[in-house]
């Protein structure tokens, strides 16, 4: 009876499909993480996590928000989906242009200064390797979102959660068998090249090579795409800075091992973030569509439903993570138990913020990016100040305090702003008539 009630086009069904694939992705990611922590020294794992964090931050700079705005273009051009091919091609050119600009300052990097700043003689080489692989990683991410934008949500999630990790897992297992563990970083970077080639080939064969004659008349200029995408890029950069400042400062003030311990806690918290993102991804285009049609009542219903889903699943996931934190961390190795308190605090903060988890995608999809940018910028400043003060005093627990305060601040601030501007209530168990009483 339950399955008969779920419409295949319903938000719940779409969210469950995405969650299923993301759960598989989480299992794969943690399988990979377990393999690394049990076969490589914490110092090596810490360098891997440091590189991984750098790639996330720098890729946000060259993506220019295109991975988010392509969903906006899909929602606002729902009757002309073939035009997305034009948008995609122009986005690729924007990414390459941004990458060219990013290369300029790196020519002036001083090797000695970088290594001394991070107290590690490998830091400079890690940054250079990160820069070399950046365009391949960025194009892969855009490919995933292009598939999602044209309605291939399951395929997009398959790439994002399975194909993305599989090449590196295979390579990591191979170098352990061959006793070439020093190649871990290089194989990690090589995996992005493989994923970019596979996803680009798939996208071209299935979508881009078809119906080219219909793309002649359009008004999707690079300028228009940039102006719509860049504000979203600022939001993305803000998010990645919130997730990376702590890692960079832990490496500077402590060492690579501390980075490895803290990163395990962050990856476990990412399970909760994954739940929020899964719901938001299935809702993003719908928000843009309903808002543009001024269908506020239906918009509130969709948001309330999405908020309930993400809140319930987040709390149900958080409870075992908190109470079984000792056993979970022991799986990664005895040394990783030092991250227990950090893990518990961040899980509690992220669970509470999931109540308002729709806020980011709502602001980005309803032409209020500038408000969200200000909130995120202020959150980044708060996070930086707290980390600089707390990490030297409390180590990785200080970083978790900064994370928790920052994530609660921007979620609650965004929810308040949304209610003030549009009278949309994000709290999941508020009656719709309360949200719409002034409309």
Listing DSSP states for 85-103 in one string gives HHHHHHHHHHHHHHHHHHH
131-156 pLDDT, tens per residue? 999 999 999 999 998 888 887 888 88
| Token pair recorded at residue 437 | 């009483």
- pTM beyond 0.85: the answer is no
Q: Is position 29 within any domain?
A: yes
Segment 370-412, tens digit of pLDDT: 888 888 889 999 999 999 999 999 999 999 999 999 989 988 9
As a whole number of angstroms, the longest Cα–Cα distance in the chain is: 68
3-state helix, strand, coil split of the chain in percent (to 5) is 85, 0, 15
* Residue 4 resides in a domain: no
With 70 as the cut, is the pLDDT of residue 234 above it?
Answer: yes
In a domain, 425, yes or no: yes
Is 3 a member of any domain?
A: no
Q: Which domain holds residue 120?
A: 9-435
Residue 426: C-alpha distances to residues 28, 270, 358, 419 (Å)? 32, 22, 7, 8
Residue 203 lies in a domain: yes
Name the pLDDT band for 318 (thresholds 50, 70, 90): confident
1 within some domain? no
Residue 36 forms part of a structural domain: yes
Is 2 a member of any domain?
Answer: no
| Distance, CA of 251 to CA of 244 (rounded, Å) | 11
Q: Which of the pair, 41 or 219, is modelled with greater confidence?
A: 41
Tally of structural domains, the chain: 1
Q: What pLDDT sits at residue 429?
A: 66
């Amino acid at each position: 009876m339950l399955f008969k009630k779920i419409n295949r086009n319903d938000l719940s069904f779409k969210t469950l499909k995405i969650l299923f694939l993301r759960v598989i992705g989480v299992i794969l990611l943690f399988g990979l993480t377990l393999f690394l922590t049990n076969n490589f020294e914490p110092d090596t794992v810490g360098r891997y996590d440091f590189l991984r964090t750098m790639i996330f931050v720098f890729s946000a700079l060259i993506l220019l928000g295109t991975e988010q705005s392509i969903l906006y273009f899909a929602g606002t051009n729902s009757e002309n989906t073939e035009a997305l091919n034009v948008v995609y091609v122009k986005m690729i050119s924007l990414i390459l242009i941004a990458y060219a600009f990013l290369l300029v300052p790196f020519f002036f990097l001083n090797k000695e200064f970088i290594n001394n700043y991070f107290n590690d003689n490998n830091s400079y080489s890690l940054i250079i390797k990160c820069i070399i692989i950046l365009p391949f990683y960025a194009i892969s991410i855009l490919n995933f979102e292009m598939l999602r934008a044209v309605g291939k949500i399951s395929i997009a999630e398959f790439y994002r959660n399975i194909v993305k990790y599989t090449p590196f897992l295979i390579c990591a297992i191979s170098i352990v068998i061959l006793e070439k563990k020093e190649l871990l970083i290089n194989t990690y970077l090589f995996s992005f090249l493989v994923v970019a080639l596979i996803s680009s080939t798939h996208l071209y064969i299935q979508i881009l090579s078809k119906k080219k004659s219909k793309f002649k008349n359009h008004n999707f200029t690079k300028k228009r795409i940039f102006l719509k995408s860049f504000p979203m890029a600022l939001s993305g950069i803000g998010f990645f800075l919130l997730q990376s400042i702590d890692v960079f400062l832990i490496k500077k003030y402590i060492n690579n091992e501390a980075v490895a311990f803290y990163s395990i806690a962050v990856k476990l918290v990412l399970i909760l973030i994954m739940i929020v993102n899964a719901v938001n991804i299935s809702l993003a285009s719908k928000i843009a569509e309903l808002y543009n049609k001024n269908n506020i009542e239906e918009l509130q219903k969709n948001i309330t439903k999405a908020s309930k889903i993400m809140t319930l699943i987040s709390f149900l996931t958080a409870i075992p993570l908190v109470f079984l934190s000792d056993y979970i961390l022991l799986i990664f190795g005895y040394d990783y138990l030092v991250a227990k308190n950090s893990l518990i605090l961040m899980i509690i903060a992220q669970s509470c913020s999931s109540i308002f988890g729709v806020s980011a995608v709502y602001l980005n999809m309803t032409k209020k990016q500038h408000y969200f940018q200000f909130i995120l910028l202020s959150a980044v400043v708060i996070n930086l100040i707290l980390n600089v003060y707390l990490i030297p005093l409390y180590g990785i627990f200080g970083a978790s305090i900064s994370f928790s305060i920052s994530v609660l601040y921007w979620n609650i601030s965004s929810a308040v702003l949304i209610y003030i501007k549009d009278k949309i209530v994000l709290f999941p168990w508020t009656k719709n008539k309360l949200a719409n009483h002034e409309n």
